[in-house]
Amino acid sequence: MKVVHFFIGFMLLALVQVFIPSQMIWQQEDILESGTLYKFKTMPIDPNDPFRGKYITLNYEENSIKIADTSYRYGDKILIYLDKDRQGFAKVTSITKELSEAKGEYVRGEVTGNYNGVINFELPFNRFYMEESKAYDAEKAYRTVNRDSLVQNVYAEVYVKEGESVLRNVIIEGVPIQEYVKKENSN
């Protein structure tokens, strides 16, 4: 093997190394650009990823559906079909294992439980990365808002297109969570 071969091999690898993240970006931008916006009511908590830093895990209110079907088991990959109410909040209309275009817009998720005719599932967009100083405060801020029973006011903005989704932001009382935390801290 000559140097040139190694170099060509490396150029190919370098292209792939650039292509994969670029493609990730392109896909996400495309969803933000032309996807549909849904609002999901949510509850943030604050864990940690060693390479990607602080994030908040979002537990959504829309995490179950009443269907008496025991064929759905823990860990099954499912398609979750969405609709929204007048204020733009998302409602889960149905779930299936195989894609059915007629049921409208959908996201991919996973079954986390099936008990008493209620199927619980996990929505894919459950991580929201935040600046490390703000992630814990965000959780605290949520708890304060929740205590005042204003849960309506915490939701995630999610863009959906052809089964893929991008979590754009988390909104507390009408302002993005980062600004809300900043405001709370300065008070």
Partner 1 sequence: MGSKFNKELKTLVSDKVISPELADKIEQYYATKDVGKPNKLFAIFGVFGALLIGSGIILMLAHNWDDFSRLTKTILAFVPLVLGQILVGFSILKEKSATWKEASGTFLFFAVGACIALVSQIYNIPGELDSYLLTWIILCLPLIYLLRSHAVALLVVIWSTYYAVLVGLWSYRSSEIPWLYLVFFVSIIPYYGQLLKQKINSNAVTIFNWILPGSFVIALGGFVGNHGNLGFVSYIALFGLFYNIGRLDIFKPLRTLRNGYLIIGSLGTVISLLFFTFRWIWDEFPSTFGLHMQELYVLTALLIIALIVVGYTVFKKGIRQINLFQVAFLIFSMVYFFLPGIDVLPIVLMNILVFALGMSAIKIGADKFNFGILNYGLLIISILIICRFFDTGMSFVLRGVLFVLVGVGFFVTNYVMLKKQQRIKKQLKDLQL
Query: Which range touches partner 1 (CB under 8 A), out of 38-46, 51-59, 65-73, 142-150?
Result: 51-59
Applying CB under 8 A, does 57 fall inside the site for partner 1? no
Across-strand partners of 35? none
* Residues 176, 168: Cα–Cα separation, whole Å: 10
Short-list 28, 22, 157, 20, CA closest to 84 = 157
Taking contact as CB under 8 A, which single stretch among the options 47-55, 63-71, 91-99, 139-147 is the one that binds partner 1? 47-55
* 134 exposure class (CB count in 10 Å sphere: 0-12, 13-18, 19+): buried
Residue recorded with tokens 């297109």: 161
Q: Does 94 bind partner 1 (CB under 8 A)?
A: no
Q: Verify binding: residue 6, partner 1, rule CB under 8 A.
A: yes
Residues forming contacts to partner 1 in the complex (CB under 8 A) are 3, 6-7, 9-11, 13-14, 16-18, 20-21, 24-25, 28, 49-55, 75, 124-132, 134, 166-167, 178
